[in-house]
Structure 1
Amino acid sequence: MRIFTAALMTETNTFSPMPTGWAAFEEFGIQRGRDGLTPTAITAPLLMWQAAAERGGHEIFHSVVTFAQPSGPTVRTVYETLRDEILRDAAEQGPFDAVLLLLHGAMVADGYDDCEGDLLTRMRAVVGPNVAIGAELDLHCHVSKAMTEAADLLITFKEYPHTDGMERAQELYDLTLATARGEVRPTLGLHDCRMVGLYFTQAPRMRTFVDGMGMLEAQSDVLSVSLAHGFPWADVADNSAKVLVYTDGDADQAGRLARDLGQTFWDMRDDVAFKGVGVDEALDRVEVAAPGLVVLADTADNTGGGAPGDSTFILARLLERGIGSAALGPLWDPVAVGLCHEAGVGAALTLRVGGKACAASGAPLDLKVRVRGLIDELRTPSYNADYVTLGAAAWIEIEGADVHVVLCARRMQGFSPMVFTELGLDVAALRVAVVKTYNHFYAAFAPIAAEIIHVAGPGAIMGDMTAIPFERRSLDFWPRCADPFAEGCLRGL
């Protein structure tokens, strides 16, 4: 059997002013399988597929493998060039029996609201109707009609934080090859929950729901079950939570199970949807908290959701309220990092920090600081234990405030306490740590935190789902509508 693979991944916040161009993909590397794949977090699933193919006596061809940090829409020529190289490889190196694609599911480019649907549709035209096509998706994806019609299988992560990517990749490999051999006939049941939001799978009711999906998959006639959460900050028509159930040839069963699961998820909505607190409410709780580290997640400035990572809103309030024994990071500011490295450890200087990318970053802060630590490459494990780099970094202490900031040269969220500790800052000994992230930090910070608070403050990522200024996405969704399935639901707003 001959197998084709490729990976083209980014998550697009259509409200972000920062375009996703060549530099964004090159930052994480653009690999081409004909040259051999270097192990990274992005290539890991493809290398696993390669090992499985070799054990099974199959031939595998890797095309383009690349990823860009979430940001604004991808530049049209960048998307089209990468897409066309993948399609050209599929045409020139074929024929193939199976296609395995690692995609995100929420990639938007100039002129393309549904990059994955576009790529899958074109791939189907290249390889023909009888080739099995499977794609692994981030659960923060938009499932479109074009995607479901072109692919035999779409399988999303089940976990947020995304700790199960390799498990889902193995599932995709096994089912796609079984489809290619004619052993199974994946039949999709799809249910649109008409919900826009964020849902943390460590929460008790979400944990039960996710475990229930796994129990359904244990039935012999159920091939795969996914909940696509959707990515709220994308103004595209298919932005919505959707349930996907694949059975072996039983369309009625697939549809019924998808509807039943969708109803269960709908019934949980008030308990599982993200509810953050304001900046001052979070700092009020810090001031009265029992001893121990309080971790505040600055969700509005999470680079993993397309925010710049350089907002100053919470830092300014820490200083205005005189709350010390505090750390904040990672704050993206390559200019400030460069000045700190030039000055050296121990240097005192006046430094302009943050607030550079856009209005959602807030105002820059002019601070008197001392450089406490420097590193040429700050590395930290991500949610799946693979290491990511934040580039050059600096630890500064704000004079007279007992407030510490970690500055980084590469946009990255704060996955782990190593963001602080690698520079020598013992964050666990402090009163409060502000981490620029949404939920991927949770597992690493929970062991050292007395309390964790998700902050929905100002920034590029709006925590109030009813306030997202959609123009292309219709407004008939919960929580904007109490019942988005009712005719004329928007009239009650």
Structure 2
Amino acid sequence: MKLFMASLATETNSFSPIPTGWSGFKEHMYSKTASRGEAGMYAAAATVWRRRAEALGWDVAEGLSTYAQPAGPTVREVYETMRDDILNDLRGAMPVDVVLLSMHGAMIAQGYDDCEGDMLARVREIVGPDAKLGLELDPHCHLTELMLDNATAIICYKEYPHIDVVERAEELFTICADAAIGKTSPAMRDYDCRMMAMYHTPFEPVRSYVDRMSAMEGKDGFLSVSLVHGFPWGDNPRCGTRTLVITDGDAELAASRASELGQELWEMRKELRQFPTMDDGLDRAVAANAAPIVLADFADNAGGGAPSDSTFVLKAALERGLKDIAIGTFWDPVLVGMCIDAGVGSEMSVRVGGKIGPMSGDPVDLVVTVRGIAQNAVQHLGTAEMNMGDCVWLEADGIHLVVNTMRTQTFHPEAFENLGIGLSQMKYIVVKSSQHFYDGFAPIAAEVIHLATPGAITPDFTIVPFTKRDGNYWPKVENPFA
């Protein structure tokens, strides 16, 4: 048996003003040896697949692995060059029995609404109908017909925050390896839930729903069950929530179970979490008789394509006179460079945030003291290392800001602690993230409050300015099945 594997991943916010070009991919990971110890989510899958394949005595060929921080559509030449690099390596590795790809599932490039489907179709053309083709996806993806038509098996991470990348990579390998030796015959079917929502898996009712999905697998012919959350800020005709079921050779069973799961999710739609406005959430934090309170600046999450430089929460904190509050991370390479040059202990007049566009708010002028510097810093999501670039800690009269050079969301307390900020001394911690922060911050928080902040990915799915998908989905329409 011979395996070929590769990864090409980003999540596209169609409405972001930040283009996704070469620098977006090459600043994180751009490697053909990702399985040999590279850091990051999209190296984790390749590492699993190499280990599993070599343990079985298979030959392994590895193509490009790369990913970019979510932003606007990928430049056409950049996508086509990376795609063709992977395809050329695949041709050079032929014949192969199994191809495994790790992609995001919501990648859009100039001229391509469905990069994953485009990639799978071209791979299938090269390997022919008999090779097994598996795809691991982020659940914030667009599950398209082109993807389903060409893949043997597609699975999504089950957890949000995505702490189960390795487990899902193991699962996909098993499904495709079993299919390659004729032990199983995967049959996939999906169901359109006609919904857009946030499905935070640590909380009910989604926690129990995901547990029930997992409990179905491995018996009664069910190989895999996934919930496709969808990515609401990607302008794709298939944007939205879907259920996906893989059975052993029984397409009718897969379709019926996907439908049952989709209808079950529809019935619990009114129980899904609702977020307070920024002001209501801050009122709740101030009234709490505990600390620290962790507040999520939902709409300025770089992981959804936001700039990570919005000032809405910072301005509100200043207006309220809040002290002992840490906020991060602000993306501003120029400001970081200035502060590193000035050095720890320096007092400076600086302009923070508000640089990329209207979704960033207005810039804020502050007199700050440089309290800490950390170069080539990292933070973790589960076991995956996530690069932050160079970081500085700025203090302005009890307000503590983390500013960094590599646009990224806040995943872990390390984003603050790398600089020496003692989070136990803070009353409030504001993280620019929608949910991936939760696994790291919940253990230290007296309370976690998700704020429906203004910004690039505000969680109001009724106002997303789609041009390529229709408006027949909940909550924009009360009953899209009518």
TM-score, reference length from structure 2: 0.98
Deviation of the 1:70 alpha carbon: 0.8
Q: Which residue of 2 aligns with 1:55?
A: 55
Asked if 2 retains the 8 angstrom alpha-carbon contact of 1:98 and 1:180, the reply is yes
Partners of 2:351 and 2:262 in 1: CA distance: 49
Partners of 2:424 and 2:473 in 1: CA distance: 41
Instruction: Describe how 1:284-323 pairs up with structure 2 within 5 A.
Output: 284-323=283-322
Worse overlay, 214-223 or 71-80: 214-223
TM-score, reference length from structure 1: 0.96
Asked if 2 retains the 8 angstrom alpha-carbon contact of 1:223 and 1:248, the reply is yes
Deviation of the 1:114 alpha carbon: 0.4
Q: Which residue of 2 aligns with 1:489?
A: none
Partners of 1:396 and 1:39 in 2: CA distance: 31
Q: Which residue of 1 aligns with 2:356?
A: 357
Asked if 2 retains the 8 angstrom alpha-carbon contact of 1:198 and 1:232, the reply is no
**SS state of the match for residue 389, structure 2?**
coil
Partners of 1:432 and 1:166 in 2: CA distance: 33
C-alpha distance after superposition, 1:396-434 (max 9, x if no partner): 111xx3111111111111111111112111122111111
Asked if 2 retains the 8 angstrom alpha-carbon contact of 1:31 and 1:37, the reply is no
Q: Does 1:130 align with 2:130?
A: yes
Partners of 2:17 and 2:168 in 1: CA distance: 33
Q: Which residue of 2 aligns with 1:110?
A: 110
Deviation of the 1:7 alpha carbon: 0.4
Unaligned runs of 5+ in 1: 487-493
Worse overlay, 102-111 or 414-423: 414-423
Q: Which of 386, 389, 397 is 2:387 aligned to?
A: 389
Amino acid of the residue matched to residue 428 of structure 2? V
Q: Does 1:473 align with 2:469?
A: yes
Amino acid of the residue matched to residue 443 of structure 1? D
C-alpha distance after superposition, 1:6-54 (max 9, x if no partner): 1001011111010110000001121124x97442222222122111111
Deviation of the 1:442 alpha carbon: 0.8
Deviation of the 1:218 alpha carbon: 3.1
Q: Which of 398, 404, 420 is 1:402 aligned to?
A: 398
Asked if 2 retains the 8 angstrom alpha-carbon contact of 1:395 and 1:407, the reply is yes
* CA distance 1:299–1:36, shift in 2 (3 Å): closer
Deviation of the 1:314 alpha carbon: 0.6
Deviation of the 1:254 alpha carbon: 1.0
C-alpha distance after superposition, 1:273-296 (max 9, x if no partner): x42222211121122111311111
Asked if 1 retains the 8 angstrom alpha-carbon contact of 2:37 and 2:47, the reply is no
Q: Which residue of 2 aligns with 1:179?
A: 179
**SS state of the match for residue 266, structure 1?**
helix
Q: Which of 436, 441, 462 is 1:440 aligned to?
A: 436
C-alpha distance after superposition, 1:359-418 (max 9, x if no partner): 111111111111111111222112x222222111111111xx311111111111111111
Asked if 2 retains the 8 angstrom alpha-carbon contact of 1:428 and 1:449, the reply is no
Deviation of the 1:480 alpha carbon: 0.5
Partners of 1:395 and 1:293 in 2: CA distance: 19
Instruction: Describe how 1:78-93 pairs up with structure 2 within 5 A.
Output: 78-93=78-93
Q: Which residue of 1 aligns with 2:335?
A: 336
Partners of 1:188 and 1:379 in 2: CA distance: 38
**SS state of the match for residue 111, structure 2?**
coil
Partners of 1:165 and 1:268 in 2: CA distance: 26
Partners of 2:207 and 2:369 in 1: CA distance: 44
C-alpha distance after superposition, 1:160-185 (max 9, x if no partner): 01111111111111111111112111
Deviation of the 1:270 alpha carbon: 1.4
Partners of 2:14 and 2:36 in 1: CA distance: 31
Q: Which residue of 2 aligns with 1:23?
A: 23
Partners of 1:53 and 1:408 in 2: CA distance: 39
* CA distance 1:256–1:36, shift in 2 (3 Å): closer
Partners of 1:419 and 1:64 in 2: CA distance: 29
Amino acid of the residue matched to residue 40 of structure 1? A
Worse overlay, 110-119 or 463-472: 463-472
* CA distance 1:240–1:36, shift in 2 (3 Å): closer
Amino acid of the residue matched to residue 451 of structure 2? V
Q: Which of 427, 439, 443 is 2:423 aligned to?
A: 427
Q: Which of 442, 457, 470 is 2:453 aligned to?
A: 457
C-alpha distance after superposition, 1:444-481 (max 9, x if no partner): 11121111110111111121111111111110001101
Partners of 1:434 and 1:102 in 2: CA distance: 31
Q: Which residue of 1 aligns with 2:67?
A: 67
Amino acid of the residue matched to residue 60 of structure 1? V
Asked if 2 retains the 8 angstrom alpha-carbon contact of 1:330 and 1:408, the reply is yes
Unaligned runs of 5+ in 2: none
Q: Does 1:222 align with 2:218?
A: no
Amino acid of the residue matched to residue 61 of structure 1? A
Partners of 2:18 and 2:317 in 1: CA distance: 27
Q: Which residue of 2 aligns with 1:209?
A: 209
Q: Which residue of 1 aligns with 2:265?
A: 265
Partners of 1:265 and 1:428 in 2: CA distance: 38
Asked if 2 retains the 8 angstrom alpha-carbon contact of 1:311 and 1:361, the reply is yes
Asked if 2 retains the 8 angstrom alpha-carbon contact of 1:194 and 1:477, the reply is yes
Partners of 2:186 and 2:53 in 1: CA distance: 21
Amino acid of the residue matched to residue 102 of structure 2? L
Amino acid of the residue matched to residue 424 of structure 2? A
**SS state of the match for residue 290, structure 2?**
coil
Partners of 2:349 and 2:16 in 1: CA distance: 30
Asked if 2 retains the 8 angstrom alpha-carbon contact of 1:352 and 1:365, the reply is yes
Asked if 1 retains the 8 angstrom alpha-carbon contact of 2:35 and 2:50, the reply is no
Asked if 2 retains the 8 angstrom alpha-carbon contact of 1:217 and 1:223, the reply is yes
Partners of 1:388 and 1:354 in 2: CA distance: 22
Amino acid of the residue matched to residue 252 of structure 1? E
Partners of 1:188 and 1:279 in 2: CA distance: 41
